[in-house]
Every structure is written in structure tokens, then in C-alpha cells.
Structure 1
Amino acid sequence: MPIIDINNKKVHIQELNKVAKQTVVLIHGMFSNLSVYYFNIAPILAQHFHVVMYDLKSHGMSERVLTGYDLDHMATDLLDLMDHLQLEQVFLVGYSFGGLIALKTAILSPSRIQKLVIMEAPDPQDEKARDIIEEYSKEFLEHYVANFTDTTKVKMGKRQMEKNHRQYEFLFQQTSIKTDMVTEKHFLEDIRHAQLPMPSLLLYGADSNCRPTGEWLKEQINHASLKLIPGDHNIPIQEPTRIAETIVHFFTNIFIKNYG
């Protein structure tokens, strides 16, 4: 279990294909963990890239932290992780609230992001979207168990399930996560004024409540394209192979701006 120390906080990371020349960093959403990528999406990406996954603070096997869930802190956490791993420039993928972290990171340090994939990032101002994402997040544990069982043929025990539930209860009830997310409700306004020079791919579920946000982002980001994937907010679980192959194609092809 690789645990690294960054700014006196323990961060759980997983890496695949360390010898590859180019690196992809994957950011999971709030109330989930890196396993959303680990079993299906990451192995496909690792056929081409060095893949880095990490658990956000208080998620998965990373250290529990009471505060610092706003986008500035979360993006800084990521940049500190990249510094620790000596990653000067990466391909960046963010899912759900992790997509907002990816966008914030690209705004803060655009020179370090070669290409950007935003998957199902919500509008933080949309209270209905926040509630639905919270609902999906609670359902994530069930998907995690099914995925874990199908992939490793080992069923997660009751003790581990209880540990996971305690962890997410801690997040919901004891940390500043909900308050910090609410303070970011106007974050998308920053996108209107941001200069994002890197090619960007927006992946959204065709039936997702977040789809309008993806369509809006396409109009705001100069070098962005939007691709709809069959499914809803849980497309990484519903269509992992399609998503992985789409990301590989995007990262391995030369970007040509559409001036039309």
C-alpha cells in the first residue's frame, strides 16, 4: 500500500507503468476513491502511459483531514503531489468534483497540464446537482463492492464495508467538505475569464443531470470538445472501456484547432 508524505499528510497513491514517458494523473470524485479507475480504466491507460492515481484527503486510504476541501486547497494538494513525484507536465483527468479540481489546477498552473479531460464535472451552483451527486456517491460503495468482487474474485468483508461507511460518515458529518463545496458555487464564473491553452475533452453521460454543464463548458473553453457517453453521472462505472479508449485516443492524437 504506497503511502507518501506530502506536507506532513499521508496520501495513498497507486502507479502503473512507471517507465512510460508520459504521465496521466487521475482524480476521483468526492465521497469515492481511486478504485473508480483502478480496476478498469487505469489498466487500459497504462498500456500507453505512466498512470498515477491518488485518494483525496479523507478518502480511501489517505489521511483524514478536517478542513481544506475548497478548490484552491485541493488543486494545491495535486500540484504538491506532482512536485513530490517530480512530474513537470502531465495529462490530467478529473471525474465529478474531481473534474472541478482538474479545472482549478489548469487555471492555477496551465503550463503543467498538457491535455485535460473533464468527466461529469457538475455546476457547483446547482443545489439539485449537488444532492444528486451525493446520492450517487453513497451508491458508489455498492458499485465498488461489485467491481472489487468481479475483478479480484475476492468479496469485500463486512469489516471493510463498515470501515468504508465510517469513513464517509466522517466526511459528511465532521469535515468542512459540504461547506467548502458550497463556497465554490460560483466557480464556473472563473472559467469565463480563464485562459486554458491546453486541448480539453469533456466527457458527459447522455442522460446525466450534469450534461448541461458540459455543454456550457464547451462554449466557454476555447480548445474544448464534448463527447457524450451512454449513461448517467456514473459513466466511469457504466462504460469504463469506452471511456478509457476515448481518453487514450485523445491523448495520443495531435490536437488541431477547429477554426470553423
Structure 2
Amino acid sequence: MPIITVDNKKVHIQELNKGAEQTVVMIHGMFSNLSIYYFNIAPILAKHFHVVMFDLKSHGMSERFTDGYDLENMSSDVLALMDALHIEKAHLVGYSFGGLIALKTALKAPNRVEQLVVIEAPDPQDEKARNIIDEYSKEFLEHYVANFTDTTKVQMGKRQMEKNHRMYEFLFNQTSIKADMIKEKHFLTEVNLSQLEASTLLLYGSDSNCRPTGESLNAQIEQAELELIPGDHNIPIQEPALIAETIIHFLSQSLSTPLTQNHG
């Protein structure tokens, strides 16, 4: 499991298809890790793109920190990772709070972002939406365990399970993560989304409580398209293949060589 040093922080990363023409950097949500993409979505994207996944600070196998979970710091982490990997420009994919990190990064450094995919980004001022993130973290852990077993053909040991639970307890109880998320409650109303230069794909669950946020973003972002996916906030778990194919179709518009059905 590659651990690299980025701005004196240890970051767990996974890369697929390094030789591809274009790069997709994938940002997971709070209280999860890169495996939300690794098992099902990333391998499909990697048929056509160089895919970079990483664990956010204090998540998965990345180094733990007590603070710095606001969007300014988290977007700086994304750009620093791109610098460390010598990636000049990339497509960004972000899920849940990771979608807000992707939006912030695209607004902050438009010259570094090719196209943008926002999956189920919540409105931070909606308390119900913030609670969804807590609920999602529990479902994510169950999904992670199930996929670990399916992929490795062995059951996750008690020690690994306990390690995961300790990570969540650390995040919930010993960091500024929740306070930093609450500090961002007005993010979507304070930024000028009409200035977003990257063409943007918005993927939201047709039954998701976050769907109104997707519809609002679609109205505000000039180069946006909204696709509704069957399911709720957990669509990466519920419809990973559909999400991957929808992303490929969207991103393929910028490839010099058009994708064919049998490509890769």
C-alpha cells in the first residue's frame, strides 16, 4: 500500500493505469476512505484514464491530524498531492463532502482542473444533509468490510475492524472535523458558482435528500449537467457501474482519441 509524503504529511494513495493520456483524481467523503472507489468504480475508469485515489488526512491509512478539515485546507491538500505526483492538470471526482472539496479546488485553481464530477455533494447549511454524512459512514463501513471479503476471499480480522473503529472514534472525538464542516455551512451561498470554469457533471440519487442541492448547483453552474441515478445518498455503493460509465461518457469529451466500446 503506497504511502507517500506530501507537505510533510504521510498520504496513502493508489494509482491505476499510470500510462493513460489523462488523469482522474478521486476524492472520497468524510468518514470513509479511497475504497469507496477502489473496488468497483475506479477499475472501470482505469480502462481509459490514469486514476489517482487517496485517503484524506486521518482517514484510511493516511496520517492523523487533529485539525485542518475546512475546505481551504482540504483543497490545498489535493493540489499538493497533484504537485507531488507531477500532475499539472486533472479531472476531479468528489463524493459527498469530497464533492465540496472538488468544487473548492476547481474555484481556487481553475488552471489545474480539466473537468469536474460532483457526486451527492450536500448543502453544508442543511443540518439533515450533515446528518446523512454520519449515517453514510456507518453504511460505508459495512460496504467496506463486505467488499474486502469479496475481493480478498478472506474475512477482515478483528484487529483490522478494531483499527477502523478507532479511526472513526479519533475523527469524531479528537479532531476539529465536525466543527470545520459546520464552519463551511455558507460555502455554497458565499461562492460565485457562475465563475466556475470547468464543465461539471452533477450525479445525484433520484431519492436522495441531497437532490435539491444538485438541482440548485445545476441552475447556478453555467457548464453543468445533472444526471439522476437510481438510489439515495449512497449511489456509489448502490450503482457503481452506472456511475462509472456515466463519468466515462462525460470525461471522454476531452480525450483526443474518442473512446470506443472495446477500448482498453
User: 1:217 and 2:222 equivalent?
Assistant: no
1:253 Cα deviation (Å)? Answer: 2.1
- Deviation larger for 129-138 or 55-64: 129-138
- Matched residue count: 255
Alignment correspondent of 2:126: 126
Residue 76 of structure 1 corresponds to 76
Q: Is the 8 A contact 2:136 2:234 kept in 1?
A: yes
Aligned match of 1:249: 249
- The equivalent residue for 1:231 is 231
Quote the offset at 1:142 in angstroms: 0.6
How many Å separate the matches in 2 of 1:107 and 1:190? 12
> For 1:82-101, what aligned pairs fall within 5 Å after superposition?
82-101=82-101
Mapping for residues 26-45 of structure 1, pairs under 5 Å: 26-45=26-45
Tell me which amino acid in the other structure corresponds to 1:233: H
Structure 2: distance between partners of 1:41 and 1:185: 29
User: For residues 119 and 140 of structure 1, what CA distance do their matches in structure 2 show?
Assistant: 15
Alignment partners' CA distance in 2, 1:213 and 1:205: 11
Q: Equivalent residues in 2 for 1:1-260 (5 A)? A: 1-192=1-192, 194-253=194-253
Q: Which amino acid aligns with 1:49?
A: F
Secondary structure of the 2:195 match is: coil
Runs of 4+ in 1 over 2 A off after TM superposition: 190-194
Give the alignment's TM-score, normalised by structure 2: 0.94
| Letter matched to residue 33 of structure 1 | N
Q: Tell me, which stretches of 5 or more residues in structure 1 are unaligned?
A: 256-260
**1:194 Cα deviation (Å)?**
5.0
- TM-score, scaled to structure 1: 0.96
Indicate the RMSD between aligned Cα atoms, in angstroms: 1.1
Task: Report the counterpart of residue 258 of structure 1 in structure 2.
Answer: none
Structure 2 unaligned spans of 5+: 256-264
**Percent same amino acid at aligned positions?**
74
Letter in 2 for 1:51: V
The 1:79–1:194 alpha-carbon spacing in structure 2 relative to 1, beyond 3 Å, is farther
Q: Structure 1 residues 97 and 45, CA, compared in 2 at 3 Å: closer, same or farther?
A: same
